[in-house]
A and B are shown apart, each in its own frame.
Chain A
Amino acid sequence: GAVVSQHPSRVICKSGTSVKIECRSLDFQATTMFWYRQFPKQSLMLMATSNEGSKATYEQGVEKDKFLINHASLTLSTLTVTSAHPEDSSFYICSAFPGTSGGLQYFGPGTRLTVL
């Protein structure tokens, strides 16, 4: 089946630093990638939609200057959490949408971010 990877799987950083998370579709091309955030015992909340070669579309309430998204190719999207603070600590998950099979999309394994 289609595989989506995320790197790193876990990161701990100091408050004020920036962290980059990569999302790759390993065996297919993704016209769209989605970024989600999940707090403990809660559902996935969509942060932004990223299309290759264009600016990301952010959901209401998500700071675009804080969560920078780049979708440089059909297999790679990156999320950079800038000037991270403890409240940004969360589980970040990406999904890759081939756009060729209805709504079917594939999720990455997630990245656990802890900001000290």
Chain B
Amino acid sequence: QQQVKQSPQSLIVQKGGISIINCAYENTAFDYFPWYQQFPGKGPALLIAIRPDVSEKKEGRFTISFNKSAKQFSLHIMDSQPGDSATYFCAASMGNTGKLIFGQGTTLQVKP
């Protein structure tokens, strides 16, 4: 019930394309769903986050789609660029605890 399942494990996209990464959760008590970007040898950096009272959130080229009934959420990266090549992690937490449960990660490669 505490797991967050992420797919795909790896993704190759052409420059300018759309990258889509999916996550699913079981615990309906989760109320905060962030996405992190991590470059090799660096700590994760927050990209965008959503709460379950909205179905979509967009920040620049990054969009989270959230489906509460299906307990799924996804990250869409529009106009993907080679600089977006990194590992992406979804996560979930119950906001008052701050304790994050991470997905397995997706390695994205954007080809020029």
Q: Please list the residues of chain A having a beta carbon within 8 angstroms of any beta carbon in chain B.
A: 4, 6, 32, 34, 41-46, 49, 91, 93, 95, 97, 99, 102-110, 112
- The stretch among B13-21, B36-44, B55-63, B73-81 that forms the contact with chain A is B36-44
Interface flags for B81-112 (1: CB within 8 Å of A; 0: not) read 00000000100011110111111110100000
Q: What chain B residues lie within 8 Å of A6 (beta carbons)?
A: 43
| Tally of chain B residues near chain A (CB < 8 A) | 26
Q: How far is the CA of A104 from the CA of B93 in the complex (A)?
A: 10
Complex Cα–Cα for A6 and B31 (A): 28
Give A1's nearest chain B residue, CB to CB: B46
Is there an interface contact between B102 and A44, defined as CB atoms closer than 8 Å?
Answer: yes
Q: Do A99 and B43 form a contact, CB below 8 Å, given A43-B89, A43-B104, A43-B105?
A: no
B46 engages A110 (CB within 8 Å): no
User: Contact at B43–A97, with CB atoms within 8 Å?
Assistant: no
Is B45 part of the contact surface with A, judged by Cβ < 8 Å? yes
Cβ–Cβ contact B102 & A43, under 8 A: yes
CB B105 to nearest CB in A, in angstroms, measures 5
Instruction: Report if A44-B89 is in contact (Cβ < 8 Å); known contacts: A103-B31, A107-B43.
Output: yes
CB <8 Å contact, B100 and A34: yes
Task: Given A44-B44, A110-B41, answer yes or no on A34-B89 (Cβ-Cβ < 8 Å).
Answer: no
Docked pose: A102 CA to B94 CA in angstroms: 8
A-B contact pairs, 14 of them (CB 8 A): A32-B98, A34-B98, A41-B107, A43-B102, A43-B104, A44-B102, A91-B41, A99-B98, A102-B31, A103-B94, A103-B100, A107-B36, A107-B43, A110-B43
How far apart are A47's CB and chain B's nearest CB, in angstroms? 12
B32 and A102 within 8 A (CB) = yes
**CB distance A107 to B45 under 8 Å?**
yes
B contact residues around A91 at 8 Å (CB): 41
**What B residues does A99 contact at CB under 8 A?**
96, 98
Within 8 Å by CB of B51, from A43, A102, A105, A106, lies A102
Q: Is the CB of A103 within 8 A of B34?
A: yes
